[in-house]
Structure 1
Amino acid sequence: MTVAVVLFTSDLRLHDNPVLRAALREADEVVPLFVRDDAVHRAGFDAPNRSAFLADCLTGLDAGLRRRGGRLVVRRGEVAAEVRRLAGETGAASVHVAAGVSRYAARREERLRDALAGPGCVLHIHDAVVTALAPGRAVPAGKDHYAVFTPYFRRWKAEGVRGTLAAPRTVRVPDGLVGGPVPDRDAVRNVSPGLARGGEDTGRRLMASWLDGAMADYQDRHDDLAGDATSRLSPHLHFGTVSAAELVRRAREKGGPGGEAFVRQLAWREFHHQVLAARPEASWSDYRPRHDRWRFDEDEITAWKTGRTGYPLVDAAMRQLAHEGWMHNRGRLPAASFLTKTLYVDWRVGARHFLDLLVDGDIANNQLNWQWAAGTGTDTRPNRVLNPVIQGKRFDPRGAYVRRWVPELAELAGASVHEPWKLERRERARLDYPEPVVDLAEARSRFERARGLS
């Protein structure tokens, strides 16, 4: 009886999972394994929102495996050591895992190779599992990655996406395996009260509803903050409960302006993965240094984190983040620009705070989007500054998004909600809403001087 180990990482699904399918083709029995890595805890990456969502995902994965005659084996410790131990217990001849792009993923693969070399267990690393296209597949001549999105997108579109794999009907797991309990969402503390539920079943229902419904209007409505007309699939892509390859294929099959616009956004995710795969140091170092001498004003940073900057759009976005563990993409841009360019605070401060709260907190997309906003990343206009008032009037023209998340301003009408400081002093005092922490014109001038633009 041959045995293979399937190490689940960011691919917590049974549908369209090349890692699981390859192991099932190769062996009579498989060990579906998830290791709760102590290194993730030490790094503080197991933030409450992601831990709770992960618990949902693992619970769903275990349930799906049990419906097929198997179960999920959960262990805790150093990943390579736990995999080696399990391979020894079962006599497994191979281990299958999805390729990653972060420095952590690269080190995990190295340690797995070293750990399995002695027992003679073969390690198989599978591309195009976490992303629709392997990060190194679309590259310019003579280089290892694209630094600008538009030429990458042209090349990415020209590449074919692999076919979609059905979920297996049966998963045979060796008897007698010892594992810990599947994590329980209810055991996680300090979870955002509005955090969505995770798991493959939830993700697939959400994907089907999106593809058959609201995606058709995505081209026209994706920037509508109040309408919230986005897919909300980013947490499922991060944990792999929904396949990026399947999502791209199905969105392309639906077609239309909405499908095309949505696929373009999926390509942005792939773009950041290929940048980080080539430049793993970009997770914390400037991709394109601007020689910034960042400010650090603790009161201003606290005001930004708590949604008390006095700029309603920024505050609404930050409060949505705190409540849901998620933020509308159109809110992320001005919130990040405000911290890095208006307050001129190091982008790493913002990236860390987002990682503390975002359920879709992904190293490639979080860090490189923050660098894009700060002008130290791949933005071809690195010194642009997003004015939160203009952004609010453009993308929340009636102020509904702001009033939803900043109830102090609920009585204000229309676009006036974006400029409460223009009210009479007595009215402002009645609102119990802070004055702006900084003057926008002065802040812009400070930023331009710091970047040597004036």
Structure 2
Amino acid sequence: MTVSIALFTADLRVHDNPVLRAALDGADETVPLFVLDDAVRAAGFDAPNRRAFLADCLASLDEALRERGGRLVVRRGDVVGEVCRLARQAEARDVHVAADVSGFAHRREDRLRTELESDGRRLHVHDAVTTVLAPGEVVPADRDHFAVFTPYFRRWETVAPRRPLGAPRRVRVPDGVREGELPARSAVSGVSPGLARGGEQEGRRRFAAWLSDGVDAYEDRHDDLAGDATSRLSPHLHFGTLSPTELVHRARERGGAGADAFVRQVCWRDFHHQVLAARPQAAREDYRTRHDGWRRDDEAADAWREGRTGYPVVDAAMRQLAHEGWMHNRGRLLAGSFLTKTLYVDWRVGARHFLELLVDGDMANNQLNWQWVAGTGTDTRPNRVLNPLTQAKRFDPDGAYVRRWVPELADVEGGAVHTPWKLAGLDRAGIDYPDPVVGLGEGLDRFLRARGVR
């Protein structure tokens, strides 16, 4: 009997999983394996919200495998060491894993390949598992990656992605392989109280519901803060409980302007992955330096983290993040612009805070979105500043989003909720809410001068 290992990473699903399919097709028996990586915790990326969501995902994956006669095998420790140890115990000839783009993942992959080959075993790395197209599948004529989204999207649209794979009917796991202990959400402390449930079943339920009753209005409503009309599928894409390839196929089958707009957003995710694959240092260094002399203002940065800047739409977004471990995309843009351009604080400060809380936080999307909004990344308008008052009037005109997340302002009616410092007399005195930490004009002038525009 031949044995293979399907090493799950950010592909925690049985539907449309090329790693699992290849492992099953290439051997008589397969060990579905997930390793709780000590290095992730040591590096500070083991945030409570992601750890809790991961526990849901692993429980869901184990359930799906058991329905097919298999089970999930869980180990803790160094991924390379645990995989090689299990390969020897199970006499597995081949190990299958999804490709990843971070420098950390590449180093781990290189170590794993070297160790396996020294023991007479093989590592198979599969592309287009966590993205629709593999990084590097479409490139410009004179560079190793696209640095601007629009030309990337034009090329990306012309390439037909692989066809989605069905879930396997049967998974045969070798006898004698110890299962290990699944982590439990209940054992994780410090979790945001409104954190959503994870897992493939939940992700597929959410996508099916949104595809039938949400995607059609997506183009018109995706920036509506109070309307909450986005798919909320980003955590499931991050953990791979949903396949981006399957999402694109099904959205295109649905058709329409809303589905097209959704597919474009999935492409943004592919775009960031191909940038980071080509420039791994962009996770911590400016992709395009502006020679910024970022300010260190701990008091203002703390006010931003706590949702106490005095600008209600920014504070609402930050409080949503704290409560749900997730934030509306328009809110992310506003919060990021305020920190980096109005307060002129280093984008890495914001990126670090987001990674501490975001259930969908990953290196490619988090770091490069922060660089985009800070003007140090791929944005072709690096000095653009999002005015929180203008944005609030446009995307939360009657203040419903603010009142939902900033209860101090719940009794302020209409659009006046966005400028509480303008309230007079007792109306202002009765509200325990701070005045703005900085004037918008002052912040804009400081930023433009720092960038050499004024």
Runs of 4 or more above 3 Å deviation: none
The residue number in structure 2 matching 1:380 is: 380
Q: Which stretch has the larger CA shift, 179-188 or 335-344?
A: 179-188
Q: How does 1:14-413 map to 2 (within 5 A)?
A: 14-413=14-413
Distance 1:393 1:363 in 2: 32
Displacement of 1:429: 2.1
Distance 2:206 2:92 in 1: 36
Give the secondary structure class of the aligned counterpart of 1:431. coil
Distance 1:267 1:307 in 2: 31
Distance 1:262 1:68 in 2: 32
Task: Give ranges in structure 1 of 5+ residues lacking alignment.
Answer: none
Distance 1:142 1:99 in 2: 24
Counterpart residue type for residue 131 of structure 2: T
The 8 Å contact of residues 71 and 179 in structure 2, kept in 1 or not, is answered as: no
- RMSD, matched Cα: 0.7
Displacement of 1:179: 3.9
Displacement of 1:44: 1.1
Distance 1:30 1:367 in 2: 36
Matched, 1:5 2:9: no
Displacement of 1:249: 0.6
Displacement of 1:119: 1.2
Counterpart residue type for residue 421 of structure 1: W
Distance 1:190 1:80 in 2: 29
The 8 Å contact of residues 223 and 330 in structure 2, kept in 1 or not, is answered as: yes
Displacement of 1:283: 0.3
Distance 1:95 1:208 in 2: 32
Distance 2:421 2:140 in 1: 50
Identical-residue share of aligned pairs (%) = 71
Give the secondary structure class of the aligned counterpart of 1:369. helix
Task: Give ranges in structure 2 of 5+ residues lacking alignment.
Answer: none
* Deviation by residue 1:291-322 (Cα, 9 ceiling, x = unmatched): 11111111101100000000000000000000
The residue number in structure 2 matching 1:414 is: 414
Distance 1:425 1:316 in 2: 24
Distance 1:302 1:200 in 2: 36
Distance 1:259 1:291 in 2: 39
Distance 2:171 2:99 in 1: 22
The 8 Å contact of residues 306 and 319 in structure 2, kept in 1 or not, is answered as: yes
Distance 2:45 2:166 in 1: 32
Counterpart residue type for residue 137 of structure 2: R
The 8 Å contact of residues 347 and 371 in structure 2, kept in 1 or not, is answered as: yes
Give the secondary structure class of the aligned counterpart of 2:430. helix
Distance 2:71 2:94 in 1: 19
Counterpart residue type for residue 71 of structure 1: R
Displacement of 1:425: 4.4
Displacement of 1:409: 0.7
* Deviation by residue 1:103-162 (Cα, 9 ceiling, x = unmatched): 111111111111101111110000000001111101111211100000000000000111
